[in-house]
Each structure stands twice: as structure tokens, then as C-alpha cells.
């Protein structure tokens, strides 16, 4: 399609552009010098454009894509395996991979049985590579049975249950992580017995310890000398910290889930030296589904909990921390939810990603309506290629999900494809059409009884050309060098200089080329008529193939033939000029779309 568009800046000066690019995420207008300021993000929005479909009986069908939607804030369906790295011992040290944290181009993995922290370069997700590692139980690294890791700045913070320790490593050189400091000890004052989860916020590290049934806070403003600041502990009422296993900090509150108390407890940590119990919710089975909760993630007013024995993802309203309330839950091992042995939950945008070790799965849920979470998709399988055996931890960064799998000794990377829905109307009813993407056949789709074609394309997160074709080996096509023609500012009743585009026959048969124009309209729905001479709210549209002899368009949305018998791969130049109305209802930008069609000659 070649559109006739005029754009004006705030001063009323016209802009001219080299191109317009439409993708599921953005509209980019490029003027050849400064394209960034012309990028507009589409988030769950709707784009409309026109596409032509050609039949072998020499007729042209006009098909309008009525909706093209893409969620720019979250990646939805069909996670695709893209890369993995595996292996216990040297060099990868992934025996019993337990947790992963991604920062920049690197993934940091702690492995329970290799007593190790390993760093991988994931700048090329399809080929993650080992960069560096540090390992060893006891002094100085204190990495016996590491389970929790958090990256903040140039430092990695690791909670190790076997060593009852919080250890800090300098990772400013990823190829050579170095020990900086450690703080250890079960019982008073550090309460690091069975240290298993760490969360860093500001100058403080918060550690959950499942043997000491405790949440402990350390001052890490000097990473070389972490110091105990405060703690709270105790199984059962009121703190419900028996088997504390995961901590998440948001604002002035720390959220802890505890295995043996089947509980989510909220603590006020606004005074780190004196954390205090605020509220809790507990109970295995319906409705709370907190049997053996392993992971908590907080986003906005909601806490998301993955429960290992209840095979559940449960959502709680924590807008009132003193009184967390159950909102909803989704449960079930095996297909479709694959929540058997749910170990971790990570929330990004409107989606929750759950790693389930029992089902060897990564499952994605739509949580846009917290009261009604819905299954979106899942990927499963131990061993090659997915390496999800004993999947225990998922981390989402950008376009990718990273999963640490305990049994497969693996870090696996999945591409999170977005789902783009297409609906094309105005076709022949109950007819099979070919969908071509970027010039290559993709698949067939059949219209319904009303002539509507629908399908969902996955992973269309870059710009693509899409053609709809029908026929027995006869392929008609047309391309143009110019997508947008800018006429610019015109005085009333004056004619623009001619603008041109080169049209090529890209099909495999001789073609006749046709054009038509939609009505000129501004943003307030004011319109111009089209005629043979300018008048009030009436413009003149003319075309030529030699820039000398011009023909006038007498009606909108009606094809006129501009070139006959255009041979395969031949080109010609189409010239367009516009005469502005003598008076106009508004003086905002008016635009029209010119559609180029072809038929077999």
C-alpha cells in the first residue's frame, strides 16, 4: 500500500519522511535523520490497514485487516526453546542448579550439589557460554548447598543453607568472581540456620532461614563488612516462620512464605532494626492452597505464591498488609496447568511464570484479572532439548525466560513469543487461502461462512510483510519503493508538485495495475470530497505515468487502471499530485490511503 499522508509539526511546518514501519510493538516514522522522536508505542492497541487479495479469475478482492493487536508489556504464548547449557562439575558446575538471577548480559546460577556460583554470558541466548565461577563449602566462600541468589550492582549475594551463611562476591569482572565477605551462624544473633533465600533492597539484605525459622536483616552498605541489624523468628502464631523459605521485599514490607506453617506472613521492615509482624494468611488446600509454599513474588497490590504440595499458584490481595486476603488460585498437576511440584513464581507484566519440578515444566498464566488467572501455555520435558527435569526456578528478563533445573543440571533459555491476532474480512466464504510471510509460504487458512479469515501468528515481534494468496500456482504481486508520500503544506486552491513512487511486478504473470483512494479525512472526522475542480471541502487528485499527461480521480474507493500489461519484474513510475480545496472545514492534517492492486492481464 502507498498512503498519501501530510504531517505537520507544532509550528505548522510540513514534515517529510523516508518510511513508515509498522510492527506489533511500534509505529516508527523515519525522516532519515531523527527517527527516534517519531516512535509511538502500541500497548494492547489496534492497528488497521488494507491488504489486497488476488484471485486467478482476474478479479481483485479488497480485504481489510480489521484488528492487529499485540501486548507490548508482556510476552504471552508459546515459549520456544532457544538455548541451554548443562553439566555438573567443571567447567559449568550446574549439579543441582537451584536458582538463577539475570542482570545485563549475564545469568548467575547457584548449584546446590556443586557448592558453586557460576556466571554465564547470555548476550546470545541461543548459545549461552561459561564465563566464570567460584565454588567451595566452608571458609572462605561458604557455598555449601547454596539456594538463594540476588544481584545488586557489582555484587552477588548468596544464601547457603549448608554453611548457614550469607556470602557476598564481587562480580565486576564476570570472568573472575571474587569473595568479598561473609556472615554466618545459626541461632542468635544471625539466625542463618538453613539460610535459603535472600532479597536485597537499598542498603539491606533480607535472608529467610528455614531451620532457624527466621527473617534476618543485614546492613550491606559496606559489602566488605555486612552487619546484623535485626531479626524476627518463630514457628506458629503469630509469625508463622516454620520453614521460612522465600522472602520478597516491596516498600516497607517483607513477605515471607514458610513451608511447615503453610503460610504467607507480612512484616513491617520500615525500621530494619526492629521488624514487626503485620499480618498473615495460612492454610493448606482450598481456598488458600498454601501447602508447602516455596516461592513468593509481589507485584502491585498482589502477592503470588507457588505451593509445592498443593500444585497451585495462589493470588492474595496485600493492599492492606495487616489483612491479606485470598483472591484466586489455579491448580493441578499435568496438562494443562503443569503445577505438579510448583517451586517458583516470577511475575512480569500481566503474566506469571511458574517453574514446576514435579511436572518438569515452565507454565505461563495470564494474571491481567487477578480474580481469574488463566492458563496461557506451557513447555515441558526433562533432558534434551528443554532440560526442565526438576525445574525449580524461573527468571524473566526482556524477551526471555531463564530456568534452573535441579535434576537436569541445567540452565535453559526460552524465547517468549508474543501472540498477534489477525482478522481479515471481505473474502470469499469457506475458501482456503495461503498465508505468505516475508515472501515465503507459511500455511493455509480457511474463511468462515461470512468470508472472514482469522489466525494467530506467533513470534511476530519484528516487522514482516504478509500476503494472502489464492489460486492454482498463479501468483500476482506488486511492490513500491515509497510507502508514504508527503505532500506538505498547500495554499487553498493550489496544486502540489508531483510526488512519485516506482511500482514493480513481483508476481510471475503479466499484470494490469490499478489504484484507488480512500476519502481524505482529518483527526476530527472532517472530510474532503473529490472532484474535477477544487471547491469548498473538495480536492482534486490526479495521477500520471509520465508526469505530463494527468488523469483525475472522480470517486473514492473505486479502482482505476493506471498500467496495462506490466511484464514480470518490469517497473514504472506513478506520479501523484493534489489540488487543495478553495476552503476547508478545518486546517488540520488530512490524509488518504492509496491502495495499489493488480490482476492478471
In a domain, 246, yes or no: no
Question: How much is the average pLDDT of 548-570?
Answer: 93
- Residue with the larger pLDDT of the pair 421 and 547: 547
Range of the domain at 545: 2-73+422-600
Average pLDDT, the chain: 84
pLDDT interval class at 48 (50, 70, 90): very low
**Tens digit of pLDDT for each residue in 11-40?**
334 334 344 344 443 334 344 443 333 333
Whole-number percent of the chain with pLDDT over 70: 80
| Count: domains in the chain | 1
**Tens digit of pLDDT for each residue in 530-555?**
999 999 999 999 999 999 999 999 99
Instruction: State yes or no: pLDDT of 8 exceeds 60.
Output: no
Residue appearing with cell numbers 461470512: 450
Least confident of 24-33, 100-109, 431-440, 498-507: 24-33
Strands (E), 202-324: 204-209, 214-219, 227-233, 244-250, 253-258, 263-268, 276-282, 293-299, 302-307, 312-317
In a domain, 427, yes or no: yes
**Tens digit of pLDDT for each residue in 469-516?**
665 444 566 777 776 777 778 889 999 999 888 988 887 778 889 999
Question: How much is the average pLDDT of 447-452?
Answer: 83
- Residue with the larger pLDDT of the pair 460 and 38: 460
Instruction: State yes or no: pLDDT of 235 exceeds 70.
Output: yes
Instruction: State yes or no: pLDDT of 422 exceeds 80.
Output: no
Whole-number percent of the chain with pLDDT over 90: 65
Least confident of 174-183, 199-208, 364-373, 442-451: 442-451
pLDDT for res 11: 39
In a domain, 99, yes or no: no
Question: How much is the average pLDDT of 127-148?
Answer: 97
pLDDT for res 476: 60
Residue appearing with cell numbers 557460576: 118
- Residue with the larger pLDDT of the pair 98 and 431: 98
Give the whole-angstrom CA distance, residue 10 versus residue 37.
Answer: 14
In a domain, 86, yes or no: no
Compute CA distances 281 → 240, 243, 261, 290, whole Å: 9, 15, 10, 9
In a domain, 168, yes or no: no
In a domain, 129, yes or no: no
Give the whole-angstrom CA distance, residue 436 versus residue 251.
Answer: 50
Find, among 260, 244, 250, the residue nearest to 199 by Cα. 250
pLDDT for res 32: 44
Question: How much is the average pLDDT of 142-153?
Answer: 97
- Residue with the larger pLDDT of the pair 39 and 130: 130
**First-to-last C-alpha distance (Å) of the chain:** 20
Is there a contact between 292 and 307 (Cβ–Cβ < 8 Å)? Answer: yes
Task: Name the grid cell of 544.
Answer: 500520471
Strands (E), 39-145: 39-41, 49-54, 60-69, 79-86, 97-103, 106-111, 116-121, 129-135
pLDDT for res 167: 98
Least confident of 63-72, 110-119, 306-315: 63-72
In a domain, 376, yes or no: no
Find, among 407, 403, 479, the residue nearest to 438 by Cα. 479
pLDDT interval class at 429 (50, 70, 90): confident
Instruction: State yes or no: pLDDT of 126 exceeds 60.
Output: yes
Give the whole-angstrom CA distance, residue 501 versus residue 51.
Answer: 18
Give the whole-angstrom CA distance, residue 118 versus residue 89.
Answer: 11
Least confident of 12-16, 204-208, 271-275: 12-16
Question: How much is the average pLDDT of 194-207?
Answer: 97
In a domain, 552, yes or no: yes
Q: Per DSSP, what are the bridge partners of residue 146?
A: 160
Amino acid at each position: 500500500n502507498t498512503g498519501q499522508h501530510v504531517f505537520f509539526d507544532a509550528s505548522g511546518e510540513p514534515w517529510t519522511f523516508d518510511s513508515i514501519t509498522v510492527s506489533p510493538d511500534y509505529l516508527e516514522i523515519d525522516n532519515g535523520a531523527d527517527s527516534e522522536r517519531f516512535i509511538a508505542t502500541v500497548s494492547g492497541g489496534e492497528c488497521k490497514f488494507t491488504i489486497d487479495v488476488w484471485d486467478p479469475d482476474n478479479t481483485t478482492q479488497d480485504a481489510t485487516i480489521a484488528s492487529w493487536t499485540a501486548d507490548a508489556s508482556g510476552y504471552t504464548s508459546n515459549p520456544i526453546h532457544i538455548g541451554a547449557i548443562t553439566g555438573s562439575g567443571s567447567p559449568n558446575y550446574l549439579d543441582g542448579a537451584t536458582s538463577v538471577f539475570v542482570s545485563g548480559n549475564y545469568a548467575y546460577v547457584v548449584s546446590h550439589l556443586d557448592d558453586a556460583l557460576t556466571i554465564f554470558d547470555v548476550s546470545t541466548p541461543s548459545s549461552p557460554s561459561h564465563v566464570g565461577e567460584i565454588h567451595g563449602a566452608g571458609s572462605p566462600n561458604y557455598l555449601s548447598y547454596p539456594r538463594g541468589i540476588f544481584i545488586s550492582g557489582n555484587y552477588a549475594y548468596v544464601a547457603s543453607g549448608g554453611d548457614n551463611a550469607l556470602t557476598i562476591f564481587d562480580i565486576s569482572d564476570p570472568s573472575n568472581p571474587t569473595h568479598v565477605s561473609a556472615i554466618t551462624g545459626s541461632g542468635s544473633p544471625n539466625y542463618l540456620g538453613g539460610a535459603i533465600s535472600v532479597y536485597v533492597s537499598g542498603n539491606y539484605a533480607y535472608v529467610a532461614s528455614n531451620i532457624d525459622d527466621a527473617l534476618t536483616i543485614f546492613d550491606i552498605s559496606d559489602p566488605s563488612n555486612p552487619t546484623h541489624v535485626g531479626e524476627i523468628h518463630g514457628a506458629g502464631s503469630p509469625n508463622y516462620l516454620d520453614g521460612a523459605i522465600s522472602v520478597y521485599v516491596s516498600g516497607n514490607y517483607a513477605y515471607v512464605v514458610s513451608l511447615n506453617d503453610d503460610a504467607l506472613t507480612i512484616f513491617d521492615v520500615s525500621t530494619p532494626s526492629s521488624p514487626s509482624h503485620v499480618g498473615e494468611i495460612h492454610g493448606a488446600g482450598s481456598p488458600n492452597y498454601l501447602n508447602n509454599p516455596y516461592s513468593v513474588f509481589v507485584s502491585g497490590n498482589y502477592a503470588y505464591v507457588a505451593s509445592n504440595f498443593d500444585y497451585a499458584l495462589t493470588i492474595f490481595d496485600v493492599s492492606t498488609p495487616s489483612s491479606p486476603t485470598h483472591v484466586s488460585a489455579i491448580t493441578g498437576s499435568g496438562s494443562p496447568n503443569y503445577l505438579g511440584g510448583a517451586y517458583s513464581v516470577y511475575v512480569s507484566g500481566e503474566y506469571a511464570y511458574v517453574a514446576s519440578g514435579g511436572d518438569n515444566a515452565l507454565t505461563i498464566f495470564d494474571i491481567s484479572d487477578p480474580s481469574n488467572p488463566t492458563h496461557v501455555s506451557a513447555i515441558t520435558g526433562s533432558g534434551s532439548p528443554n532440560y526442565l527435569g526438576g525445574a525449580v526456578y524461573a527468571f524473566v528478563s526482556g524477551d526471555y525466560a531463564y530456568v534452573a533445573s535441579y535434576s537436569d543440571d541445567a540452565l535453559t533459555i526460552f524465547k517468549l513469543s508474543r501472540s498477534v491476532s489477525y482478522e481479515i474480512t471481505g473474502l470469499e466464504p469457506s475458501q482456503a487461502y495461503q498465508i505468505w510471510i516475508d515472501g515465503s509460504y507459511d500455511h493455509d487458512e480457511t474463511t468462515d461462512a461470512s468470508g472472514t479469515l482469522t489466525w494467530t501468528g506467533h513470534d511476530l515481534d519484528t516487522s514482516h510483510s504478509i500476503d494472502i494468496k489464492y489460486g492454482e500456482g498463479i501468483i500476482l504481486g506488486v511492490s513500491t519503493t515509497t510507502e508514504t508520500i508527503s505532500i506538505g503544506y498547500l495554499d487553498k486552491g493550489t496544486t502540489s508538485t508531483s510526488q512519485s513512487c516506482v511500482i514493480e511486478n513481483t508476481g510471475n504473470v503479466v499484470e494490469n495495475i490499478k489504484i484507488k483512494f480512500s476519502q481524505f479525512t482529518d483527526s476530527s472526522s472532517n472530510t474532503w470530497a473529490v472532484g474535477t475542480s477544487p471547491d469548498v471541502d473538495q480536492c482534486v487528485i490526479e495521477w500520471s505515468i509520465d508526469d505530463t499527461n494527468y488523469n483525475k480521480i472522480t470517486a473514492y474507493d473505486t479502482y482505476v487502471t493506471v498500467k496495462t500489461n506490466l511484464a514480470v519484474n518490469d517497473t514504472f513510475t506513478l506520479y501523484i499530485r493534489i489540488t487543495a480545496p478553495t476552503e476547508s472545514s478545518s486546517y488540520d492534517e488530512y490524509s488518504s490511503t492509496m491502495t495499489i492492486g493488480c490482476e492478471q492481464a
